[in-house]
Structure 1
């Protein structure tokens, strides 16, 4: 409850001390003097100077026989006087609730009939609204949650939050399947997260490249980003859209490698790794370092280190020459 500043140290216009507090927090002096007045039937006006609240809240009123004395208002009367406007406000709000329901009731039936289309796509703006919608959908999940999480290894803080969010799903025995990129395999935090999930219906697989985030709950609602800064997302409930995205997930899942399994990469005779072949492919397609790093879930510095090793393996002295040598080497023709 809000409190006003003061308590006896702020002057009024006539320099008398103020005594601010709500009636629900009657001061000690006020409570003591009011109880005394109720017990004796009256109290001297001079005695209540330490508690002006008693007069302010009409708990005392002047004695009609002697102006130097005050008589207490019965607590039942004082309480009724305070409760009456509150009860009237409650009645007014109940009446308003009924009126609002009556107003919108004709439209509810129409909305129910059109729900499949009007709520097929919902635009969510801001992290708070996006997270609230996600939490609600996950809380309502009954069978499975599918997620695609591009990028490299997560921080301990992010994985800790993910663990807390996953606990209700684990406790309800709901299946969770997550796709990460291969770069999470170099993150100890990721494997610690997996250890915490031991015994739960949680599966993690990885792919070299993932496009964007995707979350599907019970194959009935899906969430995808609508802007690169992740401040806007789309909540999709159209059965056709959700079914299509689920098929995309399943196709990616079949191509992915379980986190505990070795990656099916084999280095070339020149020592070029699978990751470097993926970088080579994107280089030939004309992507810059930053775009390649983002698509493969690694930082730019790591990406450039791989490019340098690739150039050294192929004997390239320049970026332009590297593209030519990649095309001539035949490394892109090898199966990943």
Structure 2
């Protein structure tokens, strides 16, 4: 889009078609002395020129001089005239935000003191709603100084995933260590791969596992945010109870140790084929249907059936039950 037309977004098709021509006409002549003459020279109607001139005046690209001529204004000056009120409003809003934070900070210490020493429920903050969840993540990440540990489950929707990524981006830019465990499916989904690659390039360390029970984030090994389990409304809970955080850390450490480092996006499931086959065999042996196995592994039923077919072929099994039995006999299933 041309810089002149970009100054004012609310442009009608009639005006937008002639903005450049009318402004250029004024610039070449030094001024528009007669709208009627400009209409004749440009091959437009007087109505078209009038509408365009009015818009250029609103956009500060034309001004009326003492002789009632329409004089062109430097586009940079016009932009500055339009932007200055916006910048002033932004500054005022930032001042208001700072005042609100200052007022609430007065009560923060009392709240934290009560939360940590009061009854068990006082050390858990629960929120619902997309904006509230984002706010909770931001507050927790702003206080993070050393390390963040992230679990990404299959119940995390696209917007939630992007929220996680933006939190990690901000922390990485501040030198905070970031470790992420996500599902093997992340290796094959193109959009997810692009986002995770950006994190890895920024310094994050990422591993993948077959199954992750719940999306969670642990900040500085002292507080955690648990994300909702796929309910209709976004929910999250911030936990500061030492015992709960320690339990989450133990679970994350266990998943981290058993997860596979994500070093290449080119091989898809190749780097985790053996583990994936073992997990499929384990779930088959437990009698789960193809649909349930696929859901637990975060893949399509079609992809899941390809893995099942490959496993049955490797085991020379003629049925899913036989494959599960033989997998157990060969110690593929614990």
Q: Same fold (TM over 0.5)?
A: yes
RMSD: 3.7
Structure 1 residues 216 and 108: alpha-carbon distance in aligned structure 2, compared to 1, 3 A threshold: closer
Unaligned 5+ runs, structure 2:
1-105
Structure 1 residues 153 and 115: alpha-carbon distance in aligned structure 2, compared to 1, 3 A threshold: closer
Structure 1 residues 300 and 128: alpha-carbon distance in aligned structure 2, compared to 1, 3 A threshold: farther
Structure 2 residue corresponding to 1:327, chosen from 322, 325, 328: 325
Offset at residue 295 of structure 1 (A): 1.9
Offset at residue 331 of structure 1 (A): 6.3
Does residue 302 of the first structure (1) align with residue 303 of the second (2)?
A: yes
Structure 1 residues 199 and 114: alpha-carbon distance in aligned structure 2, compared to 1, 3 A threshold: same
Q: Distance in 2 between matches of 1:182 and 1:331?
A: 26
**Aligned position for 1:244:** 247
Structure 2 residue corresponding to 1:209, chosen from 186, 208, 211: 211
**Aligned position for 2:284:** 283
Q: Deviations over 1:73-126 (max 9, x none)?
A: xxxxxxxxxxxxxxxxxxxxxxxxxxxxxxxx9x99986653213431222223
**Aligned position for 1:130:** 133
Instruction: Give the number of the structure whose residues are more often helix, by fraction.
Output: 2
**Aligned position for 2:52:** none
Structure 1 residues 167 and 276: alpha-carbon distance in aligned structure 2, compared to 1, 3 A threshold: closer
Q: Distance in 1 between matches of 2:150 and 2:224?
A: 10
SS of the residue aligned with 2:175?
Answer: coil
SS of the residue aligned with 1:150?
Answer: coil
Q: Deviations over 1:44-84 (max 9, x none)?
A: xxxxxxxxxxxxxxxxxxxxxxxxxxxxxxxxxxxxxxxxx
In the comparison of the two structures, how many residue pairs are matched?
223
Q: Distance in 1 between matches of 2:112 and 2:162?
A: 39
Structure 1 residues 302 and 114: alpha-carbon distance in aligned structure 2, compared to 1, 3 A threshold: same
Q: In the TM superposition, what are the counterparts of 1:18-37 in structure 2 within 5 Å? A: none
- TM, length-normalised to structure 1: 0.55
